[in-house]
Structure 1
Amino acid sequence: MLVWLFVAAAHADGIAVGKAQLRQAEDGYQLAASYDINLNYTVQQALSRGIPLYFVSEFSLTRSRWYWLDEEVFHGEQTIKFSYNVLTRQYRISRGALFQNFASFEDALNILARQSSLPFSSDLMKKDGNYTAAVRLRLDTAQLPKLLQVNALTGKDWNLDSEWYRWVARVPAANGEGKAE
């Protein structure tokens, strides 16, 4: 019975953060996350009928201050379009003008599950400072067709949100990997 409950929880619909980290990039640092994404039947059916899904990937880095409110060092947001072309039977992930086509749903979902922020300057972080990093991935229901927006307001099928995942981040070591605590 316990095994069945564990398997059911592992395959629950929605988005959850699998791993998050602060890593060194060419131009400074960037926040990166991998997500566990399980789209429910309703969302998969809409996608298979050619309705594009827009996911918003959000990143935030704040520094604690004892004398005032926390200071937001970096905030980034990216919109990712996940679509299916019924005629060519291909899935497509688009970020701005860049896109990539996939033959299978699983391959496209694996790419969608790995997100990184734009690099930000290393001058924004002090070596001895403690920072709070946060990541989130959500389905943007405001970009759905109007009829589906009504369904999204009244039903839980369209509520796909990983919620904010926060951790204490420190300046990454020379090998490029930051600690997520």
Structure 2
Amino acid sequence: MVFLGGLPAPAAAEAAEVTLMKLERSGDGVYLTAAVQFELPTLVEEVLDKGIAVYFVAEAELYRERWYWTDARVAQVARYMRLAYQPLTRRWRLNVSPVPITNAGFGATLNQNFDTLSDALDAVKRVGRMRMGDVSDIGEDAVHPVQFRFRLDTSQLPRPFQIGLAGQADWNIAVERSAKLSVGKSP
């Protein structure tokens, strides 16, 4: 297992940073766990308080190194999160899905309710055990290059909000981290 801590954030995403990235082998699968740290801008918090949902996306790609060509992507996974305030119950609802959440329906999602926004954001910031694939597909290599991305997905906001977002730093929550991680056995 490899932990990455205290990594500097790239210049484009000064407000967010990846504080943990870990690959682990459990049974026949390989899982990625990551943690992101960011402060929710006041403007985004105001939109949430009005009952408008905000969407986050966590994506990861795992590669196999090749000396003769570019690295081969052997696994790709994404996790889509929808955070919304429910004014009638005064609770926060987080929907988590492996496929994009659309207005046509939530499909197969995991739903969690929280009493406070900070509790809900803690759940958004922890990306736990994203299944990258089978050990047989990924291979027994000791070290794999991994690219992890986390962002606020403004394309899923209602159209009136999308029009005025161009150039507003308050809506730019994004971080990307690349690292070579070893696959460790989980206990």
TM-score bracket for this pair, using the shorter chain length: 0.7 to 0.9
Given that 1:125 and 1:171 are in contact with CA atoms closer than 8 Å, whether structure 2 keeps it comes out as no
Q: Secondary structure at the match of 2:164?
A: helix
Matched position secondary structure for 1:108: helix
Equivalent residues in 2 for 1:1-181 (5 A)? 14-96=15-97, 97-116=109-128, 117-162=130-175, 164-172=176-184, 174=185, 176=186
| Structure 2 residue matching 1:149: 3-state secondary structure | helix
The match for 1:4 is none
Shift in Å, 1:69 = 1.6
Distance 1:119 1:171 in 2: 11
Q: 1:126 to 1:118 in 2, by over 3 A?
A: closer
Q: Deviations over 1:90-114 (max 9, x none)?
A: 0011013220000011111111111
The unaligned stretches of length 5 or more in structure 2 are 1-12, 98-108
Q: Deviations over 1:132-158 (max 9, x none)?
A: 012121011100011111122231111
For residue 170 of structure 2, give the secondary structure of its aligned residue in structure 1: coil
Question: For residue 120 of structure 2, what is the amino acid of its counterpart?
Answer: A
So what's the TM-score if we normalise by structure 2?
Answer: 0.80
Partners of 1:71 and 1:92 in 2: CA distance: 38
Does the 8 Å CA contact 2:62/2:132 hold for their aligned counterparts? no
> How much identity, in percent, do the aligned residues show?
31
Number of equivalenced pairs:
163
SS at match of 1:157: helix
> Secondary structure of the residue that 2:171 maps to in structure 1?
coil
TM-score (norm 1): 0.83
| CA-CA distance at 1:129 after TM superposition | 4.3
In our comparison, the structure showing a higher alpha carbon Rg is: 1
CA distance in 2, matches of 1:108, 1:142: 21
Q: In 2, Cα distance between the equivalents of 1:32 and 1:62?
A: 16
> Where does structure 1 differ by over 4 angstroms across 4 or more consecutive aligned residues?
none
1:31-64 deviations in whole A, cap 9, x for unaligned? Answer: 1101112101000000111110010110110112
More strand by share: 2
Counterpart of 1:104, as a letter, is T
- What CA distance in whole angstroms lies between the structure 2 residues aligned with 1:140 and 1:128? 33
